[in-house]
Amino acid sequence: KDSHVASVSAPRRAAPMSSTDFYVRYYVGHKGKFGHEFLEFEFRPDGRLRYANNSNYKNDTMIRKEAYVNEAVLNELKRIIEESEIAREDDKQWPEPNRDGRQEFEIVLGNTHISFATAKIGSLLDVQESKDPEGLRVFYYLVQDLKCLVFSLIGLHFRIKPI
Q: Report which DSSP code applies to 74.
A: H
Strand, helix or coil for residue 103: strand
pLDDT given for residue 10 in this prediction:
36
Residues with pLDDT less than 50, the chain? 1-19
Alpha-carbon separation of residue 63 from 4, 35, 124, 127 (angstroms): 8, 15, 28, 29
For residue 61, the model assigns a pLDDT of 80
Q: Which of 105, 42, 40, 48 is nearest to 71 (CA)?
A: 48
pLDDT of residue 6: 31
Q: Are 43 and 106 in contact (CB under 8 A)?
A: no
